[in-house]
Amino acid sequence: MGSLECDCKQLLKNVVGDEIAMNPLDLGEFRRQEQMVVEFLVNYYKNVEKYPALSQVEPGYLSKCLPSSAPQDAEALESILEDVQQYIVPGLTHWQSPTFFAYFQANTSTAAILGEMLCTGFNVAGFNWVSSPAATELESLVMDWLGKMLDLPRPFLFSGNGGGVIEGNTTEAMICTLIAAREMVLRRLGHNSITKLVVYGSDQTHCSFQKAARVVGIDPQNIRALKTMQSTLFGLSPDLLRNAIRSDINVGLIPLYLCATVGTTSVTAVDPLEPLCKVASEFGMWVHVDAAYAGSSCICPEYRKFLNGVEFADSFSFNAHKWLLTSLDCCCLWVKDPNALVKSLSTDPEYLKNEATESKQVVDYKDWQLSLSRRFRALKLWFVLRMYGVDNLRSHIRNDCRLAQLFEELVAKDDRFEVFFPRNFALVCFRILPSAVASMASGHAVENEHGEAWELNDVNKLNAQLLHAINASGRVFMTHTVVGGVYVLRFAVGAILVRERHVIMAWKLVQERANSLLNMSGSNTPHA
């Protein structure tokens, strides 16, 4: 044995002893422990309906249950899972519960979980093609698959010189496209013009748009949230947009970007894409279509109409992690001009240079996103598309819409309630009517010019009390919105385990809590 080898072995002994202290990837233990975790999850899903959909813990509860410092020595997985069951599960709001009707769902599936396991197991950082060719090429392939399922215009697909990328969330998609739009304008007009750039959406556009605009340097005073009205179903008016743009131009500002929405968060309103895009094109603006929630439904031919006009937009995104059985995070973004992203987001340090990139024959996704490293998220989307197929995914969407229609019909049969907004997808927005509570405040009805009893604030307050009573029961979880000054309850169907009986149970609970509130108010209004 050479002296160098002896010296190395002695040095290793001095540092770690005669044997390695631990093996962080012991394959025998991995098999045993993986089976334990899978069994834990199986039992969790078997029992998830028994847990309150909305966590009932108080703020700061966990610090009272767990040690304040990390353990010095290793602990057994059995002990850790016991603590998960005892302390973590009670602090979860159970998004996969069949009685979760809040927000928009973030559903998962067997296929997504299995794909996620492989993604985590491989743990590749596919920032450019050479760092993991399969990660890049599968993502490009899957994004074209999904684009074809949505019947996106060919210019959005790689096969049509566009392309798709999986971002983490809608905010990232907006930031990337805003940067691309910003740089296209500033390269022409000079970077000092950034203070003059204006972006447009409606008062129903998701709040992530305002955050994204601030992140890319848009002056908050130049972020337009144009007013919508119930009479136009809370869609953005093309005439209002054109007038706003002209007003901004008249004072020396520069219109940059329009965010149009298909399926707003509050009520799933749909902006009129084609006329909005035509207005934007008059002024050379970038148009992004955000279909974060509703985009999944457009794989069904009967819902594809909501994307009519997308062919005139520059970019389009939706979240497969909301309604397409693909677990967080998986925001799918398509652009007609990938070079606009690459020119704005590209970095080219010496340590990343390689022949494949320089050949211009590959996609380097690091230049399509904010960060350098990226997860192999395409795996789980690929698993979902392959394990279920287009027909089953369409059936999944249609069934959720059918259950939402059932709830909508139940609401309509009770004359104390109204469906506030026409249902487009699987969200029902409803409230107690003013006429049902006319006598609550003063013992007699006072009607306004529309024949509605009560002041709006009082009606809003009662509906807020109703939502609180529903959620306090622990039996279901719903959320609310305020649109056009009206407080409404949102009933969003989409949890992967939801069935008809859960919808009927939820409606009966709404009626029970409404009965209690209205009886307390002294109302004797009859109901169906």
Q: Which of 259-273, 357-371, 388-402, 512-526 has the lowest mean pLDDT?
A: 512-526
User: What local confidence, expressed as pLDDT, does residue 456 receive?
Assistant: 75
User: What local confidence, expressed as pLDDT, does residue 306 receive?
Assistant: 97
Distance CA 528, CA 368 (A): 55
Question: Would you say residue 520 has pLDDT above 90?
Answer: no
Strands across the sheet containing 163-167: 163-167, 331-335, 315-319, 286-290, 254-261, 197-202, 223-226
User: What local confidence, expressed as pLDDT, does residue 445 receive?
Assistant: 41
Cα 456 to Cα 304, 420, 460: the distances in Å are: 36, 14, 6
Taken in order 35, 40, 41, 43, the sign of the CA dihedral is: positive
Asked if residues 448 and 431 have their Cβ atoms less than 8 Å apart, the reply is no
Distance CA 259, CA 291 (A): 10
Distance CA 307, CA 224 (A): 23
User: What local confidence, expressed as pLDDT, does residue 22 receive?
Assistant: 80
CA angle, corner 386, sides to 380 and 390, nearest 5? 110
CA angle, corner 203, sides to 259 and 406, nearest 5? 95
Same domain, yes or no: 398 and 338:
no
Same domain, yes or no: 261 and 339:
yes
Domain end position, chosen among 281, 315, 347: 347
* Among 317, 316, 298, residue whose Cα is nearest residue 306: 298
Q: Which of 246-255, 301-310, 340-349, 453-462 has the lowest mean pLDDT?
A: 453-462
CATH code for the domain in which residue 477 is found: 3.90.1150.10
Same domain, yes or no: 414 and 283:
no
Q: Exposed, middle or buried: residue 46 (CB in 10 Å: 0-12, 13-18, 19+)?
A: exposed
Same domain, yes or no: 441 and 336:
no
The tokens for 108 are: 């998962």
Distance CA 241, CA 257 (A): 12
Average pLDDT score over residue span 168-192: 96
User: How sure is the predictor about 155, in pLDDT bands with cuts at 50, 70 and 90?
Assistant: very high
In the three-class reduction of DSSP (H, G, I as helix; E, B as strand; rest coil), residue 80 is classed as helix
Distance CA 429, CA 104 (A): 13
Q: Which amino acid is at 525?
A: T
Instruction: With respect to residue 107, please indicate whether it lies within any of the assigned structural domains.
Output: no
Same domain, yes or no: 337 and 429:
no
Same domain, yes or no: 312 and 183:
yes
Beta-strand relationship, 417-421 and 331-335: unpaired
Q: Which of 262-266, 346-350, 391-395, 445-449 has the lowest mean pLDDT?
A: 445-449
Distance CA 296, CA 316 (A): 12
User: What local confidence, expressed as pLDDT, does residue 519 receive?
Assistant: 83
Same domain, yes or no: 397 and 318:
no
Which residues have CB under 8 Å from 463's CB, separation 6+?
Answer: 431, 432, 480, 487, 488, 489
In the three-class reduction of DSSP (H, G, I as helix; E, B as strand; rest coil), residue 480 is classed as strand
Domain end position, chosen among 347, 378, 408: 347
User: What local confidence, expressed as pLDDT, does residue 14 receive?
Assistant: 55
Average pLDDT score over residue span 488-493: 98
User: How sure is the predictor about 455, in pLDDT bands with cuts at 50, 70 and 90?
Assistant: confident
The tokens for 118 are: 């492989």
Same domain, yes or no: 190 and 299:
yes
By residue count, the chain amounts to: 528
CATH code for the domain in which residue 332 is found: 3.40.640.10
Distance CA 186, CA 242 (A): 22
Instruction: With respect to residue 524, please indicate whether it lies within any of the assigned structural domains.
Output: no
Average pLDDT score over residue span 13-29: 71
Average pLDDT score over residue span 359-374: 92
Same domain, yes or no: 184 and 319:
yes
Average pLDDT score over residue span 339-355: 91
In the three-class reduction of DSSP (H, G, I as helix; E, B as strand; rest coil), residue 262 is classed as strand
Distance of CA 298 to the CA centre of its chain: 16
Same domain, yes or no: 413 and 313:
no
Q: Percent of the chain at pLDDT above 70?
A: 91
User: What local confidence, expressed as pLDDT, does residue 10 receive?
Assistant: 59
* Cα distance between the two ends of the chain: 93
Tens of pLDDT, residue by residue over 205-250, are: 999 999 999 999 999 999 999 999 998 999 999 999 999 999 999 9
Beta-strand relationship, 479-483 and 486-492: antiparallel
Instruction: With respect to residue 480, please indicate whether it lies within any of the assigned structural domains.
Output: yes
User: How sure is the predictor about 60, in pLDDT bands with cuts at 50, 70 and 90?
Assistant: very high
Question: Would you say residue 1 has pLDDT above 60?
Answer: no
The tokens for 149 are: 């399922």
Domain end position, chosen among 347, 376, 404: 347
Question: Would you say residue 329 has pLDDT above 80?
Answer: yes
Same domain, yes or no: 316 and 249:
yes
Task: Provide the residue range defining the domain that includes 453.
Answer: 390-517
Question: Would you say residue 453 has pLDDT above 70?
Answer: no
Instruction: With respect to residue 469, please indicate whether it lies within any of the assigned structural domains.
Output: yes
Question: Would you say residue 15 has pLDDT above 90?
Answer: no
* Among 363, 523, 510, 502, residue whose Cα is nearest residue 458: 523
Q: Which residue would you say has higher pLDDT here, 518 or 266?
A: 266
Q: Exposed, middle or buried: residue 262 (CB in 10 Å: 0-12, 13-18, 19+)?
A: buried
The tokens for 28 are: 């025998």
Cα 27 to Cα 34, 37, 118, 250: the distances in Å are: 10, 15, 15, 68
Mean pLDDT of the chain: 91
Same domain, yes or no: 339 and 440:
no
DSSP characters over 47-79: HGGGS-SS--PPTTTGGGTS-SS--SS---HHH
Tell me how many domains the chain contains: 2
Q: Exposed, middle or buried: residue 345 (CB in 10 Å: 0-12, 13-18, 19+)?
A: middle
Instruction: With respect to residue 96, please indicate whether it lies within any of the assigned structural domains.
Output: no
User: How sure is the predictor about 129, in pLDDT bands with cuts at 50, 70 and 90?
Assistant: confident
Asked if residues 25 and 122 have their Cβ atoms less than 8 Å apart, the reply is no
Question: Would you say residue 138 has pLDDT above 50?
Answer: yes
Average pLDDT score over residue span 479-504: 96
Instruction: With respect to residue 382, please indicate whether it lies within any of the assigned structural domains.
Output: no
* Among 231, 213, 204, 268, residue whose Cα is nearest residue 427: 268
Average pLDDT score over residue span 190-196: 94
The tokens for 37 are: 């975790």
Instruction: With respect to residue 150, please indicate whether it lies within any of the assigned structural domains.
Output: no
In the three-class reduction of DSSP (H, G, I as helix; E, B as strand; rest coil), residue 279 is classed as helix
User: What local confidence, expressed as pLDDT, does residue 13 receive?
Assistant: 57
Distance of CA 158 to the CA centre of its chain: 24
Q: Which residue would you say has higher pLDDT here, 489 or 68?
A: 489
Instruction: With respect to residue 303, please indicate whether it lies within any of the assigned structural domains.
Output: yes
